[in-house]
Amino acid sequence: MIVPMKKCYIVALESERHELPKSLRKLGIVHIQEITGSGETYSALERDLALARNARGALAARLPPKFKPAQRKGHEAAEQGRQLAEKVLDLLEEIDTIEDRLAYLEKECERAASWGEVSKSMLEEAEASGFRIHLFEAPAKAAGDAPAELVHIPLAAPKGKLHWAVLIPKGGILPALPPSFAEFVPPEQTPAAMRQTMVQLSARHAELERTLADASRDIDLLDAYLASLESSLVLERLRSGMPGEGTFCYLAGYIPEPAVQKLRTAASEHGWAVAFEDPSAEELPPTLVDNPPAVRIIEPVFEFLGTVPNYREYDISFWFLLFFSLFFAMIFGDGGYGTLILGGSLAAILGRLRKKQVPGNAEILFALLGAVTVIWGALTASWFGIAYDRLPAFLQNISIPLINGQHPDSESNIKVFCFIIGLVQLSIAHFKNIRRDYPDLKFLSQVGSLLLLAGMFNAALNLVIDSQRFPIRSWALGSIGAGFLLVFVFGNWNGKLGSSLIESLKGFIPTFLGTVSVFADIVSYIRLWAVGLAGLAISQTVNGMAGSIVGGVAAFAIGFILKLLIAIVLLVVSHSLNFVLTVLSVVVHGIRLNMLEFSGHLGMEWSGYKYEPLKEADSIGGNTAIN
C-alpha cells in the first residue's frame, strides 16, 4: 500500500538553525522539501566532494582484479580518507604534469629530429664569438632566392630541403628573406638530453602509478570520507538555505501519517513548533510503499526499473508479483531451467542463513520464480527441451494433456490461456478504477472498458486462434457497442451531460483508437506463448545436434568419448546461451505486460519519486558527518 502523507512545518528559533537539521536527521522520518544551499562553507563542501570523487575514481580504475576492499567506517576512517584523498590528488597532479611534460618533449624531439643535436644554449654560446646564429629551413630550389649578401653555412638536411645557419655580425640586422624560408627555433635542450629527461620522467610516472595502485587497496577509506562529505553537504544545504523571518527559521516537508506523533513528541522535547496539513491537489508528495514481507520481495524489480508510482496512483506490488511470476514461468517454459533457478536461489538463501543473515528479497523472489517455472514446466512436460516420449513416466503423468504437446490443440489451448490471462489482468485494472471512481458516474466509463474487454476477447479468439472453434457471438458485438458508448459518454464526465459530450466529441478519434487498442492489448499477451515456444525450439535443436554428434556407438571407444565431450560442451554452452536470452525476454516481455498493458489500463504514469527522509547515513560511511 502507498502510505498516506502529511505535509509538515517545523519552526525553531534562529539560534537553533545549526542544530535543527542535525536533530531531524537523527529522528529520520521527515522528507524535507528541496532547498538550495549557499555560502562559503557550502561551496567548500561541494568543491571537496568533487575532488574526493575524482580521487576515488582514480583509485577505482587501479583496483587489483577481484580485490574486495574492507568496509571501515566511522569518523576515524573518514579522517584517514580525507588524508588519502589529499595524497591521491597530489599524485594525480604530479602525474598530469609529467604527462604534459612528456608530450611536450616528445613533440620537441620530433620537431628537432632533422636538425641534429642542437639547442638554444649552443646558439647562445656561439654569440659570445661576435655572431648571432639563426637557423632557417626552406625548399632546396629556393636557395637562389636568398639575398646575395647573406652569410650562411649549409647544414645537413633531408632530401629536397635546405638547412642554413645564417651568421649575423654583432649589431647587424637580419636581412629580409623570402616567405619560403622558415626560421627554426631550437629546443631548450638537445634531443639526446630530452630523451634522457623523458626516460627519467617515465620512471617517475611508473613509480607514481605503483603508489596509486597500492593506495587503491584503501578505497574504503575514501568511501567513508565521501559519505561524511555527502552527509555534511546535506546538513549545510539545509542550514544555509533554510527560510527564516526575524528570530525564527523553519523547514517544510512530508511525513508518513503513522509517524506524526513521533514528530510531535520530538518537537515537544526540542521546543519546536510543528504544524500538519493534508497535501493539496496541486502538490505531489513523495511515495512510500509499505507491503507485507510476502509482497515486498518484488521490490528488487522496481528498483531495477527505477520506477516509483505517483503518490495518487496505485500500489500494484501484489498484482505485479502475481502476474510477473506467471509470465516468468511461461516465458522460460521449462521445468529444467526452473530447477536450476530454484536450486541456485535456495543455495544462496541457505548460505545467508548459515552466516546468520536474513535472506534478501532478490533471493526469495528468484526462489519463487524458479518454483513457479518448475510447476509450469511440469504441467506442460517441458524439461530441457527433451521430447515427451523420452521423458520418465512420472514426468509424463504429472503433465496436463491439454497443454503438454500431445493433444492436437495444445498450442491453441496455450494461446487461449494467454488471452484469458490478459482478460483477467486488464479486467482487474478496470475493477480497481471502478472502485476509485464510484459513485461518480465516471465509473460507468470503466464499466464500458470491461464490456470492451469481454467483446474483444471473443474477437481475439476468433481472429487469432480459430474462427470455427470460436465464432463471433452476438453478445460480443453488443458488448463492444455498449462499451464504446459508455466510454464515449462518461469518459470525460464532469457532472454535466452536455459539456461532457462536447469534450468526448473533441476526443472522438483518440476514443475510437483506444477501443481498437483494447484488442491489441489482449492479443499482446500471445507473446507469452511465442517467446516460450522460441526457447523450446532452441532447446530441442540443441538436443538434436548433440544427439546427432554422439549418434550410435562409435567404432572405437576413444572416438565415442571425443564425440561425447563435444556433445556435452555443445549442450552446456547452447543451453546457457538460451537461458541468458530467455532472461532478456523476461525483462522485455514479462515486465512490459505489467508496465505498459496493465499499467496503461490502470491509467498509471509512474511519475512519482521515492520517500527519502533526512536520516543518518550508515550504508557506506556510518555516522561520519563532519558537523
Q: What is the 3-state secondary structure (H, E, C) of 28-71?
A: CCCEECCCCCCCHHHHHHHHHHHHHHHHHHHHHCCCCCCCCCCC
Separation of alpha carbons 398 and 335, rounded Å: 12
Of 184, 196, 198, 52, nearest to 118 (Cα)?
A: 184
Give the mean pLDDT of 493-500: 80
Calculate ∠ Cα 276-280-283, nearest 5°. Answer: 105
Most confident segment among 48-52, 66-70, 557-561: 48-52
Instruction: Please indicate whether residue 80 or residue 589 has the higher confidence score (pLDDT).
Output: 80
Residue by residue, what is the 3-state secondary structure of 2-17?
Answer: ECCEEEEEEEEEHHHC
Q: In what order do the strands lie in the sheet with 182-184?
A: 152-155, 161-169, 131-139, 182-184
- The pLDDT, as a whole number, for residue 556 is 43
- Check if the beta carbon of residue 11 is closer than 8 Å to that of residue 272: yes
> C-alpha cell of 513?
483508437
User: For residues 210 and 146, is the Cβ–Cβ distance under 8 A?
Assistant: no
Helix and strand totals (H; E) in the chain: 22, 9
| 552-579 pLDDT per residue, tens | 444 445 454 554 555 555 555 555 666 6
Q: CA of 602: how far to CAs of 328, 432, 436, 518, 597, in Å?
A: 22, 8, 11, 13, 9
Please check whether residue 161 is in contact with residue 140, taking contact to mean a CB–CB distance below 8 angstroms.
yes
Q: Which residue has the higher pLDDT, 547 or 254?
A: 254
| 333 three-class SS | coil
Please report which helix (H) or strand (E) contains residue 558, including its range. Answer: helix 557-585
pLDDT score, position 617: 62
* Cis status of the peptide bond prior to 359, with omega within 30 of 0: no
Q: Is 134 helix (H, G, I), strand (E, B) or coil?
A: strand
Question: Which pLDDT value is given to residue 577?
Answer: 64
- Type of residue found at 89: L
Residue 627 neighbours by CB under 8 Å, 6+ apart = 22, 232, 235
Query: What is the C-alpha separation between 602 and 596, in angstroms, rounded?
Result: 10
Has residue 606 got a pLDDT over 50? Answer: yes
Q: Using CA atoms, how far apart are residues 429 and 316, in angstroms rounded to an integer?
A: 10
Q: Is the pLDDT of residue 321 over 90?
A: yes
Max Cα-Cα span within the chain: 116
SS (H, E, C) 385-418: CCCHHHCCHHHHHCCCCCCCCCCCCHHHHHHHHH
For residue 616 the three cell numbers come to 543518518
Supply 117's cell numbers. Answer: 643535436
Integer Cα distance of 123 and 133 in angstroms = 6
Mean pLDDT, rounded, of the chain: 86
Helix (H, G, I), strand (E, B) or coil at 184: strand
Instruction: Average the pLDDT over 333-351 and give the result.
Output: 89
Nearest CA to 332 out of 28, 50, 587 is that of: 587
> d(Cα 365, Cα 321) in Å, to the nearest integer?
9
Closest CA to 340 of 313, 300, 370: 370
Pairing of β 5-13 and β 131-139:
unpaired
The mean pLDDT of 106-122, rounded to a whole number, is 91
pLDDT of residue 539: 57
Among 342, 329, 319, which residue's Cα sits nearest to residue 528?
329
Question: What does the DSSP 8-state code read for residue 171?
Answer: T
Residue 193: all three cell numbers together: 638530453
d(CA 545, CA 573): 13
Task: Pick the range with the lowest mean pLDDT from 14-18, 184-188, 587-591.
Answer: 587-591
Can you tell me the distance from the alpha carbon of 361 to that of 366, in angstroms, rounded to the nearest whole number?
9
Q: According to the model, what pLDDT value does residue 258 have?
A: 94
Of all residues in the chain, what percent carry a pLDDT higher than 70? Answer: 89
Q: How confident is the model at residue 619 (pLDDT cuts 50, 70, 90)?
A: very low
Q: Which helix (H) or strand (E) holds 346?
A: helix 335-354
Nearest-Å Rg of the Cα atoms of the chain is 38
The predicted structure's pLDDT at residue 554 = 42
Pairing type for strands 131-139 and 182-184 reads antiparallel
Mean pLDDT to the nearest integer, 196-209: 96
pLDDT at 479 (0 to 100): 93
pLDDT in tens, 412-454: 888 899 999 999 999 999 999 999 999 889 899 999 999 999 9
Range of weakest confidence among 147-156, 244-253, 528-537, 541-550: 541-550
pLDDT of residue 103: 96
Q: pTM score > 0.85 for this model? A: no
Q: What is the mean pLDDT of residues 96-120?
A: 93
Q: Give the pLDDT confidence score for residue 624 in this predicted structure.
A: 40
Q: Among 112-116, 120-124, 582-586, 603-607, which stretch is predicted with the lowest mean pLDDT?
A: 582-586
Q: Which of 17-31, 37-51, 418-432, 559-573 has the lowest mean pLDDT?
A: 559-573
235-253: burial string, b at 16+ Cβ within 10 Å, e else? bbbbbbebeeeeeebbbbb
The CA distance from 110 to 122, in Å, is: 19
User: Looking at residue 572, what is its pLDDT?
Assistant: 59
